[in-house]
Every structure is written in C-alpha cells, then in structure tokens.
Chain A
C-alpha cells in the first residue's frame, strides 16, 4: 500500500483517545482492561452485524460446498515497505480460500500481542486490516486477543481463518492435473520476500522494493467464471517460493515439471537484490502471487485474460507438466542447460560462497 493511501486511511480512522499507550498483560486477561482495549475501537473499526453480537462464537449460515483455511502470521519486521502484518494476515487467508476455487466470505481474527506493543502500532495494523477486508469483500465475524509477557512474543502474532463457498464451476484438485498442463505464474516473483530482506539487510534502493501483498480472490473468481474446470489447480507460492510449491506438487502428484528460467518474470531491482545476497529468487517468499495449472488448449487465452487483470499484468507461462522424470522439477537455465530444482532443507540463507 502506498504511503499516501496509508495516510488517508489513518485520517479516516483516527485512533481514539486512550489512557494507555502500550499493551499490558492485563489487556489479554479477559477483564475490564480487555474490554477497554476492544471497546476502544477494535469492535467499532471492524463492526458488522455478526461481530456486533459479541458472542463467544459467530452465528453464520452457509449452504453448499465450502472451503476453509487457516494461517498464522509472524513476519518480522511487522511494518515493511508496501504493507504490514495486518494486511498479510487478511490477504494470506483470503488467497488460501480463493485458490480452493472459493469466494472467501467470513474471517476469524486472533491476536497474540507482546506486552509493550505500542498502541499506535496496534491501531495502524487494525486500520489496515479493516481496509484489507473491505477490499477483499470479507468480514471479520469472530476473534480473540491474548497478551504474552515481554520477550515471549515477537510484537504481534496473528492467526486468521477464512471460509467461503466453492464456485459452482470450480474443479480444483491435484488429481485433475494432466500431462501437458501449462503452469502460469500471475506476476513477478520474489518481490515480497526481498521487500522484507531489504529491511533486514539494510539495503537502500533507487526506488523501494514494496511487498506485493494483495487479495487475489476477485481475480481468481473471474478466471474460474471464464475457464471453469479447465483450471486444474491453483496455489500460492508463499514461504519457500515457487520452487518449493512446484516440488511439493511434483512429489505428491507423481508428475514431472519442466520450467524455463528465461520465462520467470522478475523485477530488475528484485533480481539485483537476490544477486547481492546470493539468494535464488525461485526460493524467495511471495505474497500477491498465484500459480495455475491449466489445460494446455486454453493456456494462451487464460494468460491473455489474466494479463488484463490488475493483479496479472506480468503473468507468464513458465512451464509444463510432463510425463518424463516424475516427482522431479527440472529447470532449463537461460543458457539452455538443465538443472534439477530440489527442496531446500530449510529457509534459504544469504550466502557469500
């Protein structure tokens, strides 16, 4: 989110006057202090009929096949170029539900706050959550807040759970992947991970690398509307990057995948940051990005439609599902040589070697 947008949001939702400026253990204990915190504006900010009941759980009514997803968010730093942990928490779960072929509708929102977290920071995160929900057209219907001692948390941990109806045309499943399917990436890779890394490593940029976190549900729903069951699988390559998610799919579906380095879209500064730190962009975390496995006959049309969407301007076809080398992902390098893309034993670390 741009700085100007951030400022507008804060002006529209000013922090209420409070007689406390940091979170204390009392705020999570369920007594008056907790109510004080929630009443201070949390409920007002996120207000809707269901949440306003303020019961232990939310009363909702849904029919048909549902998709249900949960995710926890612990990013550090909690504020980074292009966003903060709040919108990651909303967009992350919204997108997880969307890649099931569903329209996310309701979210739960739970916080674990570290004693000493500044109210101004908490408020900014809440305002961001409010706007992210509005943009994604979802509402928070239930939640929880706990506080842990200083040193036992990393400022703030957020868990969100989302639920939505599966689109009647959607037939998303790994079982539907076919030999010959094309793999489409919706935009530039490695952007979010490098936005975070750049803060951690103290890199300056000519123009800042901003996280590309965003909700992808509207984009995905319109693609499902158009292409229905020709979309065999959707997935979002978050932690571990594109390489990890492709390898996981190759292993569990027992298929081979060929990808082409020259087709991987990446922003120039992100590529340079990766070179500098010795990181392979294939393994860097992404946020506002999804991968699609689609029927080869409609792949070009699919790409065209996606590229017309604001979240798909840099979309590319990056590979194919193949019969040879099952369980392996093989990448053709820019100079035409082939290499195996394997799973990393853990998180990628900057190297000097």
Chain B
C-alpha cells in the first residue's frame, strides 16, 4: 500500500469548524484536496507526499539532490581510498 505522489501546496483552508486543516495540492497541474492533519506545519509552496488523500511528509529539497550526486560521491571516496592506499604503499 505504497502509492504516494509528491505535489505542491497551493492554498490552505480550515474545515469542519476549524478542526480539519485541508490543502489544495497541485500534482503536475491536477489539483486535489488533501488533509494536512498529519503535517500541521506544512505551508503554501511546500512540496508534500500524499497517500490516499493525506499528506504524510514534506519533501526535503536538499536531500532530494543526493540521489543525483551519490555516484560522484562514492567515486570520490574510492579515489580517496586508492590514493591513501598508494601513499601507504609508498611509505612502506
């Protein structure tokens, strides 16, 4: 039961006598009403992950980049380890 899609909060409104915080969230142009009851701090402009009509997490924009940098990062780590290995060999 894992289908959840990220969307951008366009507007927020209170319903049911102020008990329920609802947002209009845009998913690539489609707007759906979403409950913010599990993300009370979410604000207009935030990207949130929505599952069955409820926002369950905010997208961390910085962390979102890591998948694109990971390969470079591990490439650098390997190079560093190789370099250290070379240095150690030289010292020996």
Contact = CB atoms under 8 A, between A and B. Distances in A.
A343 interface: no
A55 B51 CA distance: 59
A205 B28 contact: no
A353 B2 contact: yes
A272 B52 contact: no
Interface stretch (A116-124, A127-135, A273-281, A312-320): A273-281
B87 interface: no
B64 interface: no
A207 interface: yes
Contact of B29 (A205, A278, A352): A205
A276 B2 contact: no
A269 interface: yes
B1 A272 contact: no
Given A276-B5, A351-B3, A352-B3, A271 B31 contact: no
A205 B7 CA distance: 13
A220 to B, nearest CB: 31
Residue among B1, B2, B29, B51 with max Cβ neighbours from chain A (10 Å): B29
Nearest to B31: A204
Contacts of A272: 27-30
B26 interface: yes
A275 B27 contact: yes
A75 to B, nearest CB: 21
Interface string B1-26: 11101000000000000000000101
A276 B26 CA distance: 11
A269 B31 contact: no
B88 to A, nearest CB: 40
Contacts of B5: 275-276
A268 B32 contact: no
A352 B26 contact: no
Looking at chain B's contact residues, is the secondary structure mostly helix, strand, loop, or mixed?
strand
B1 A353 contact: yes
Contacts of B29: 205-207, 268-269, 272
A298 interface: no
B30 A352 contact: no
A352 B31 contact: no
B2 to A, nearest CB: 6
B28 A271 contact: yes
Given A276-B5, A278-B3, A352 B51 contact: yes
Interface in A197-229: 198, 203-207
A271 B2 CA distance: 19
A76 B31 CA distance: 22
Contacts of B24: 204
A353 B3 CA distance: 5
Interface string A141-185: 000000000000000000000000000000000000000000000
A10 B82 CA distance: 78
A206 B52 contact: no
Nearest to B50: A276
A67 B73 CA distance: 64
Contacts of A206: 26, 29-31
A203 B28 contact: no
A269 B26 CA distance: 10
Given A276-B5, A351-B3, A353-B1, A203 B30 contact: yes
A275 B3 CA distance: 9
A273 B30 contact: yes
Given A203-B30, A273-B30, A275-B5, 18 more contacts: A198-B30, A205-B29, A205-B30, A205-B31, A206-B26, A206-B30, A207-B29, A268-B29, A269-B28, A269-B30, A271-B28, A272-B27, A272-B30, A275-B27, A276-B30, A276-B32, A351-B3, A352-B52
Which 10 residue pairs spanning A and B have beta carbons closest together? A272-B28, A269-B29, A204-B31, A272-B30, A206-B29, A278-B3, A352-B3, A272-B27, A353-B1, A273-B30
17 contacts: A198-B30, A203-B32, A204-B30, A204-B31, A204-B32, A205-B29, A205-B30, A206-B30, A268-B28, A269-B29, A269-B30, A272-B27, A272-B29, A272-B30, A275-B28, A276-B32, A278-B3
